[in-house]
Amino acid sequence: MDDLDAVVRGSSYAVTAVGDALYDLLAKLLGVPLYTLLGGLYRDRVQMVWSIGMKATSEMEKEANAVKERGYRKVKIKVGSPNPQDDIEHARAVRQVLGKENSFRIDANAGYTFKDALSTILAMKELELEFVEQPLPIWDLDGLRKLSEIVNLPIMADESVNTPQSALELVKRQAAAIFDIKLAKHGGVYYARKIAAIAKTANIPLYAGNQPASSIGAATAIHFFAATKNVIAGDFNIGPDGWLADDIVTKPLALEGPFALVPPGVGIGVELDEAKLARYAVAV
């Protein structure tokens, strides 16, 4: 991993692809599931949070109602629009659909200034937000800490936590109460485990996120979360699920309502469909 990082420094997605493939291979050589290689099974499933993108209020209401009927009990919406009043309107409408019994949170993807974040979050206090995800720019760690103190809500770092060093800095500044883990963002299992160790030491939970990916990426991520103690429900994307046209494994990951199940078998538990791989391959 050190040699790989030296060659493709800063290319976390490339590092993830190679490094996580080596974890899968090592687990297969040992004849064990990847979660065993990573320390054991804390859970056999991960609860998924549904994320609703910014769109017309009526469309957001419709999507919230649909996922509620599918059994999702944790929903977040994207905010950070040029007009914060639109975000407030969207949040109130979605909360109305979800009802008070379901968990609700917002994600600004680093899109607010401190002033807009403060006024918007305070305006949403009546909606009983569980937490706020990355309201400020990546670099504004002091702003994250100050904002959390004023609004009295947990702040989850996403874009601000991407390396073990950034995780350590967030802990030192008390700038985040939750870390959003996405393997590809960090460089795969190898580096995510380092961040997880820092978070556990600081008593910070890990949000089970992952980028939209085939079942290969999702399977690797779910093994990591299954073998990590301090994990909470997250935006766990499974295979195509509206993001991709198709999957490239023989048997995609299984779902049970709003839960993704850890696949059985050795390694990451899924097998590549060679015919599909050939069909979708692009010559470069």
pLDDT attached to residue 237: 84
**What superfamily would CATH give domain 2-280?**
Enolase-like C-terminal domain (3.20.20.120)
Tell me if residue 182 is catalytic.
yes
- Nearest alpha-carbon partner for 200 in 236, 233, 164: 164
pLDDT digits (tens, 9 = 90+) for 84-134: 999 999 999 999 999 999 999 999 999 999 999 999 999 999 999 999 999
Give me the DSSP letters along 31-72.
TSBHHHHTT--S-SEEEBPEEE-S--HHHHHHHHHHHHHTT-
- Write down how long the chain is: 284
Residue spans per domain, the chain = 2-280
28, 182, 229, 276: the catalytic one is 182
| Calpha distance 230→206 (Å, rounded) | 6
The mean pLDDT value for 239-261 works out to: 86
Q: What are the residues facing 74 on neighbouring strands?
A: 103
For the record, the structure tokens of 116 come out as: 């807009």
pLDDT attached to residue 31: 98
- Residue 239, pLDDT above cutoff 80: no
267: left (phi over 0), alpha (psi -120 to 50) or beta: left
Pairing assessment for the beta strands 45-47 and 259-261 based on DSSP bridges:
antiparallel
pLDDT band at 209 (very low <50, low <70, confident <90, very high): very high
For residue 39, give every residue at least 6 positions away whose Cβ sits within 8 Å of its Cβ, in sequence order, or none: 227
- Residue 138, pLDDT above cutoff 90: yes
The mean pLDDT value for 22-31 works out to: 98
The mean pLDDT value for 56-81 works out to: 96
Amino acid at position 178, single letter: I
| Spatial contact of 133 and 176, defined as CB atoms under 8 Å apart | no
76, 78, 172, 200: the catalytic one is 78
Distances in Å between the alpha carbon of 6 and those of 1, 9, 10, 46, 238? 9, 5, 9, 33, 31
The mean pLDDT value for 228-251 works out to: 87
Q: Where are the beta strands (DSSP E) in 108-249?
A: 132-133, 155-157, 178-181, 206-208, 231-232
| Calpha distance 208→180 (Å, rounded) | 7
Sign of CA dihedral 164, 179, 72, 244: negative
Of 149 and 240, more confident: 149
| Calpha distance 180→83 (Å, rounded) | 26
Give me the DSSP letters along 73-96.
-EEEEE---SSHHHHHHHHHHHHH
Q: How many helices (H) and strands (E) does the chain have?
A: 12, 11
pLDDT attached to residue 274: 96
pLDDT attached to residue 244: 83
Tell me if residue 78 is catalytic.
yes
pLDDT attached to residue 240: 67
- Residue 145, pLDDT above cutoff 70: yes
> Cα 39 from chain centroid?
21
The mean pLDDT value for 48-58 works out to: 95
pLDDT attached to residue 242: 66
pLDDT attached to residue 39: 95
